[in-house]
Chains A and B, each alone.
Chain A
Amino acid sequence: MTLVRNEFRKLSTMRAVWLLLAAEQAVIIAGIASLLVGNSNDPHDPMTSRQAVMHVGLVAMFTLLLGVLAVAGEYRHKTITDTYLATPKRGRVVWAKVITYTIAGLGFGLVAAVTATVVGSIWLSAKGGSLYLGDTEVWQTLVGCILWNALFAAIGVGVGALVRNLVAAVAVALGWIAVIEMSMSSLFGSSARWLPFAAGKSLGHFTPDSDLLPQWAGAVVLIAYTVLFVAAAVSTTVRRDVT
């Protein structure tokens, strides 16, 4: 418990965290604006509302980076030495970070949801429509996207602990989403829906966008990835030398 509180204190004293949070809001605002600035989307269609709040899920890449930063950033600035000197049972450090950053990712998701709801409402009412908050599917999308943020933060902790080099870890995380998973989905077609980012979209209820998994299955798959990454991170962190 002390370790989790300690991780929260570290998190709140890093400027990069607040910059990531600000950047996330900027992306949501820009994304929703570009969705509604044209006339192609009907402001009276609940699907337009859902597309607006889907941005909450797309910014999960920021919580992925947040998680990466939590571990690889400690190696980068050599604060990891002090961290492990205080807690030589290193597996406990990884677990504390997973818990802390899952909660922080949830927080990022909630803030993003508020931003998207407010910005979406303003844009849609300016267009004569409204954000369909009474629509179950809009809520399913919002909640799924918030959870996606939380799980991606935990996966980020795993990636950061496995790769350790900050620049390499960020490159791996962003490269996976932007390049590798994209090309794999064009190679393997619908089997690519089992991949992490696609599972996130399934959890974020991006249907009927493409051939995604049902929302519950997306959740299960993404949780499975999280467990896998955390387990790998704990087992390697405990064994590897800190030099």
Chain B
Amino acid sequence: MTDIVIQGLSKWFGPVHAVRELGFDVPAGRITGFLGPNGAGKTTTLRMLLGLVRPTGGQALIGGLRYVEIAAPRRVVGAVLEATGCHPGRRARDHLRILAQVTGVSRSRVDEVLDLVDLTDAGHRRVGGYSLGMRQRLGLAGALLGSPDVLILDEPGNGLDPGGMAWLRGLLRDHAAAGGTVLVSSHVLSEVAQTADTVVIIGNGTLRFAGPIRELGDSLEIAFLRLTEIDGMAAASGNDASPGKGVAR
């Protein structure tokens, strides 16, 4: 059982207060959706959780430890961020072998995860020739290498076809049912409503809601728009989370 606990987490990028005193729990054994409009601070929060960005204040703990304190982090946490990449000239199997070595798992595990994400036949190909969906699955394969307790996924559905989405949903449900922790950020609210048990909604770097979806009272989309509406009006244009604004004008 590896819970994620975020307490008073803040981040300033120069004059920009990206994340403000954010606090929420991500319990094990459940799928937690992490939602917010563009620029709400989701990615920054995930990056602080993973030790890539240093918090200005507060802390983000995984199983009671900061990420940097975890001894073999890839065996505890599997993460796919938007910024996770592969060298385009590298073959997928080589990419995973490189990761396997630092994860501390054997080469045979590489073949297992390739099989799991249905890339066995494409494993010898260079990643540069992969489609978006294939890259997404390769990213997942990398995250799953260490059989981690905790999965942290940023927009994992990007580029997946309907079959891929259903497969991913099944994978996440099985993982949570087995006692694992799942934190998934997404803009596809219908998918989150189908998959997640609990949601954390943030806007402008602050917490707007954390709890079971059924406690929202409305449908997830209506609740999301209500909870983040204020940002849609305050934020500059380009904030795609406020479709109502365009209609009103």
Chain A residues in the interface with B (C-beta under 8 A): 2-3, 5-6, 9-10, 13-16, 73, 77-79, 81-89, 239, 241-243
Contact = CB atoms under 8 A, between A and B. Distances in A.
Interface stretch (B46-54, B162-170, B220-228): B46-54
Majority secondary structure, B binding face: mixed
A78 B84 contact: yes
Contacts of A84: 51-52
B108 interface: no
B89 interface: yes
5 A-B pairs with least C-beta separation: A78-B85, A86-B102, A88-B68, A242-B52, A241-B53
B53 A242 contact: yes
B67 interface: yes
21 contacts: A9-B101, A77-B87, A78-B85, A79-B85, A79-B87, A81-B52, A81-B83, A81-B84, A82-B84, A83-B102, A85-B50, A85-B79, A86-B73, A86-B99, A87-B102, A88-B67, A88-B68, A88-B70, A239-B54, A243-B47, A243-B52
A2 B70 CA distance: 17
Contacts of B94: 9, 13
Majority secondary structure, A binding face: helix
A241 B52 CA distance: 6
A113 to B, nearest CB: 28
A73 B85 CA distance: 11
Interface string B48-65: 001111100000000000
A73 B87 CA distance: 9
Contact of B85 (A3, A13, A81, A86): A81
B135 to A, nearest CB: 11
B142 interface: yes
A87 B89 CA distance: 23
A14 B90 CA distance: 6
A2 B102 contact: yes
B97 interface: yes
Interface in B77-108: 77, 79, 81, 83-91, 94-95, 97-99, 101-103
A8 to B, nearest CB: 10
A21 to B, nearest CB: 15
A14 B77 CA distance: 27
Interface string B184-224: 00000000000000000000000000000000000000000
Nearest to B48: A241
Given A6-B101, A85-B50, A15 B89 contact: yes
Of B44, B67, B81, B102, the most chain A CB neighbours within 10 A belong to B102
B175 interface: no
A98 to B, nearest CB: 17
A82 B99 contact: yes
B74 interface: yes
A79 B89 CA distance: 12
Of B53, B91, B97, B101, the most chain A CB neighbours within 10 A belong to B101
A15 B91 CA distance: 11
Contacts of A243: 44, 47, 52-53, 83
A240 B88 CA distance: 26
Contacts of A2: 101-102
B86 A77 contact: yes
Contacts of A78: 83-85
Given A73-B87, A77-B85, 17 more contacts: A9-B98, A10-B87, A13-B87, A13-B91, A16-B89, A78-B83, A78-B84, A78-B85, A82-B84, A82-B99, A83-B102, A85-B50, A85-B51, A85-B77, A85-B79, A86-B99, A241-B47
A243 B50 CA distance: 12
Interface string B129-147: 0000000000000100000
B94 to A, nearest CB: 4
B47 A242 contact: yes
Contacts of B77: 85
B86 A3 contact: no
A15 B90 CA distance: 8
Contacts of B98: 6, 9-10, 13
Contacts of B91: 13
A86 B86 contact: no
Nearest to B77: A85
Contacts of A77: 85-88
B54 A6 contact: no
Contacts of A86: 73-74, 99, 102-103
